[in-house]
Structure 1
Amino acid sequence: MAPKTNARRFILNLGLILLVAVTLLPRPVSARALNETSLPDLNTFALAVQNGEANTLRGVYAENIFALPVLQQPTYNAAFVSRDPNSVTQFSLASQFGNVGLLAHNDLSGQYFFQLYQGERIQLVYGDGRIEYFRVTGIYRYQAESPFSTRSNLIDLDTREYLTAYDLFAKVYKGPRHITFQTCIANNGNSSWGRLFVIAEPEKSLPQLATQIQ
């Protein structure tokens, strides 16, 4: 495919990311607090969500933080994010790049993304019971200069670096296989003020962990 076509596709995809960000804005629906219920262990959770479909992602697990079923977006609706309070939605555009994008409203399951930390272990559970292991390796927070614009530049809140729409999409959804958790950041009364992205990479790709994995 020609480079110009790729560039146009990235801008379109980033526009959808920012459209997704708008759909992630909080609405008056209360989320289940983490301490209101005990989480199942990983094996119990895996048994509960599997459905026999080997290629379908069915759940995501982080010990003591969340155990959430994964829902799929309807065909041709990459901006859809479920309002189910105890689930995340798989971002279909990320799958086109071989990666896993997980979306949630920040007043629902997205609130748990803020509890993830560097080195946290993440497990993906597939329909046949297979489990894939990841570790959180990057947490990125951005302010959107124009929160409702699909072409807004974004400011990295840690480094103050400016990123274009193209740069952001490439950073969080391209590259070697990884998970990207995405939700909105509310600030100063503006519920669409910023974006949170948490990146987790496969354990086997991390040199410091590879020798520990059998």
Structure 2
Amino acid sequence: MASRIKNQIIFIALVSIFLRALVPTTPVLAKESENNVIPSMASFIESLKNGDASALRGIYVRGVMAYEIKQQPSGYPGYVSSEANTITQFRMANQFGNIGLLAHNYLAGADFSALNAGDIITLVYGDGHTQNFYVEEVLQYQATSPLSPYSNFIDLNTQEFLTAEGLFNKVYRGDFHVTLQTCIEKDGDL
């Protein structure tokens, strides 16, 4: 049971303001990747090695994604990398003993929607060791007041009502897990 808990993942895609409250919304154009081919896991791991066993360096999902992970700058909880093929590690999740990974939905976050329950996500560390997680659920929320940073949310699958704090606690606290977070495009709004 403990290994199952250690190998779980919650994927969350937020509509509208919850992520915007944490992330600057200045539009950035994505550069077209020169090589859209996903490398083998072995070559991906080799490309990320820097010798630091504690540094989270990459995320790999066979046939879906292979992205470098960059650390969020200290003191900037709303920072999300605007580089193509890059995911940002969310520092606040670390404070609760979990891993949070953020990406814009028009960049690397676009691939989050390709994840399905049962998929294996492999995190790669600087010394080359890996840690596997299984996708257990995909969550989608809509802000009730899209222009408010304190908006409440509605679970699009269950219609459950959550406060911003309640949603944060649901996806970033609890037993050890990984949360991938991006926005969902709606009516042309990224």
If the TM-score is normalised by the length of the shorter chain, which range does it land in? 0.7 to 0.9
Q: CA deviation at 1:19?
A: 2.0
Is residue 2:173 matched to residue 1:177? Answer: no
Give the letter aligned to residue 59 of structure 1. Answer: G
Q: 1:78 to 1:99 in 2, by over 3 A?
A: same
Structure 1 match to 2:137: 138
Q: 1:187 to 1:142 in 2, by over 3 A?
A: same
Which whole-Å CA distance do the structure 2 matches of 1:147 and 1:177 have between them?
Answer: 30
Distance 1:32 1:134, change over 3 A: farther
CA distances 1:133-156 after superposition (whole Å, capped 9, x unpaired): 110001000110112322110001
Structure 1 residue 37, shift from structure 2 partner: 2.1
Contact 1:26 1:107 in 2 (8 A): no
Q: Is 1:154 equivalent to 2:153 in the alignment?
A: yes
Tell me how far apart the structure 2 counterparts of residues 17 and 190 of structure 1 sit (CA, whole Å).
13
**Which of the pair is proportionally richer in helix?**
1
TM-score (norm 1): 0.76
Shift of 1:26: 7.6
Instruction: Provide, for residues 13-61 of structure 1, a one-character-per-residue CA deviation record: whole Å limited to 9, x for no partner.
Output: xx985522x43x5835135479x62111111111111111111100000
Aligned twin of 2:55: 56
Give the deviation of 1:180 after TM superposition. 0.4
Give 5+ residue unaligned stretches, structure 2.
Answer: 1-16
Q: What is aligned with 1:108? A: 107
- What amino acid is the match of 1:91? F
Asked which structure has the greater RCO (Cα within 8 Å, sep 6+), the reply is: 2
Q: Secondary structure at the match of 2:69?
A: strand
Matches within 5 A, 1:1-214: 18-20=20-22, 22-23=23-24, 25=25, 27=27, 29-30=29-30, 32=32, 37-191=36-190
The C-alpha deviation readout for 1:72-98, integer Å capped at 9, x for no partner, is 011111111111101100000001111
Unaligned runs of 5+ in 1: 1-14, 192-214
Question: Structure 1 vs Structure 2: percent identity of aligned residues?
Answer: 43
2:32 and 2:61 map into 1 onto residues whose CA distance is: 16
Q: Does the Cα contact within 8 Å between 2:19 and 2:182 map onto a contact in 1?
A: no
| CA distance in 1: counterparts of 2:134 and 2:31, whole angstroms | 26
Structure index of larger Rg = 1
Contact 2:152/2:162 (<8 A) preserved:
yes
Answer whether contact 1:16 1:78 (CA < 8 A) is retained. no
Q: TM-score, normalised by structure 2?
A: 0.85
Partners of 1:40 and 1:190 lie apart in 2 by 32
Cα distance between partner residues in 2 of 1:30 and 1:118: 28
